[in-house]
């Protein structure tokens, strides 16, 4: 049952990242590649039918944690109280940025809510990446299973870290670049003309950055938590996962140069899937480990 529930939680989180990830990426690019009000409306229409439905996966994942791993749910939601409240407000601002934009025919009104949408989308990607970084790095669990993390301390990784340190910032940057690139591929698939060309241009520019930050995150993870390789050494078949990540990275520009926007989008989806699968394979059977105790 432990494996079954672990897989269910992992599948729901992965589905959320892939499906809501392109919504977040589109939001991060909203003010960057859209030059006119009509182009901004085109971007919003591209995600309009699916953005709120995609967030159901986040709710499903939280509900599954509550029923399957109640101690983890209680510990994580109390220890991460501050960032969870920040994420909640960012989700609210993102929603009102989409829903209220067209309520008044005013450039100032629309500009404000366009800014809410873009700003909240960018910060959400960073916080989601930092959240994964905290899971991989570990938290200072006490004997009763609870912990508390300030937003930051001295930015170093140690027994008493903050939510943000040099490692989790790297994880946040990886998430920002990966989801923005994912959103660019989605917009290239869903748009035409100048907007399509700009989306492809952003994807081409971000791809080498993604390669560099992916490698940097791998090195940083091996420095911070070399124990994450234990499962890979125990089950060598897991080494197929980083090969799949590398293959998906290679296929993104390959398909983009051929004009196959759908295939490029699927390649970026595969990158996100295998990155998360690799993380899950490293931490299993734990969902949260302690920085103050040896890795189980």
Residue 274 pLDDT more than 80?
A: yes
Q: How confident is the model at residue 146 (pLDDT cuts 50, 70, 90)?
A: confident
Task: Give the pLDDT score at 95.
Answer: 92
Quick one: average pLDDT of 153-169? 86
Tell me if the bond preceding 285 is cis, omega within 30° of 0: yes
φ/ψ (deg, to 5) at 23 = -65, -45
Give the model's pLDDT for residue 229. 93
- Is the pTM of the predicted complex or chain greater than 0.85? yes
Instruction: Give the pLDDT score at 88.
Output: 92
What is the structure's pLDDT at 66?
A: 87
Integer CA distances (angstroms), 197 to 32, 191, 259, in order: 13, 9, 11
Q: What is the mean pLDDT of the chain?
A: 91
State how far Cα 11 lies from the chain centre.
Answer: 14
The whole-number average pLDDT for the span 185-212 is 95
- Partners of 152 in the beta sheet? 164
Q: What is the pLDDT of residues 98-137, one digit of tens each?
A: 999 988 889 899 999 999 999 999 999 999 999 999 999 9
> Quick one: what percent of the chain has pLDDT higher than 90?
69
Mean pLDDT in residue range 14-26: 95
pLDDT of 77: 85
Question: What DSSP designation does 271 have?
Answer: H
Domains and CATH numbers, the chain: 2-283 (1.20.1630.10)
């Amino acid at each position: 049952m432990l494996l079954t529930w672990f897989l269910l939680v992992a599948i729901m989180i992965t589905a959320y990242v892939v499906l809501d990830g392109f919504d977040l990426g589109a939001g991060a690019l909203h003010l960057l590649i859209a030059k006119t009000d009509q182009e901004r409306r085109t971007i919003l229409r591209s995600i309009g039918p699916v953005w709120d439905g995609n967030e159901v996966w986040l709710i499903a994942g939280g509900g599954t944690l509550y029923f399957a791993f109640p101690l983890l749910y209680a510990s994580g939601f109390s220890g991460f109280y501050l960032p969870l409240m920040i994420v909640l407000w960012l989700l609210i601002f993102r929603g009102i940025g989409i829903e209220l934009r067209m309520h008044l025919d005013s450039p100032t009104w629309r500009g404000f809510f366009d800014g809410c949408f873009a700003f909240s989308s960018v910060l959400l990607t960073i916080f989601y990446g930092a959240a994964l970084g905290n899971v991989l790095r570990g938290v200072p669990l006490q004997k009763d299973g609870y912990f508390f993390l300030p937003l930051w301390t001295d930015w170093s990784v140690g027994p008493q870290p903050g939510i943000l340190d040099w490692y989790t910032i790297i994880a946040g940057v990886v998430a920002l670049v990966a989801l923005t690139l994912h959103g660019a591929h989605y917009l290239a698939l869903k748009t035409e003309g100048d907007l399509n060309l700009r989306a492809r241009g952003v994807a081409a520019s971000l791809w080498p950055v993604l390669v560099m930050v992916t490698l940097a995150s791998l090195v940083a993870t091996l420095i911070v938590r070399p124990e994450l390789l234990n499962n890979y050494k125990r089950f060598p078949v897991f080494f197929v996962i980083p090969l799949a990540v590398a293959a998906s990275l290679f296929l993104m520009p390959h398909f983009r140069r051929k004009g196959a926007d759908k295939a490029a989008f699927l390649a970026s989806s595969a990158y996100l899937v295998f990155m998360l699968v690799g993380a899950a394979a490293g931490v299993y059977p734990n969902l949260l480990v302690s920085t103050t105790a040896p890795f189980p």
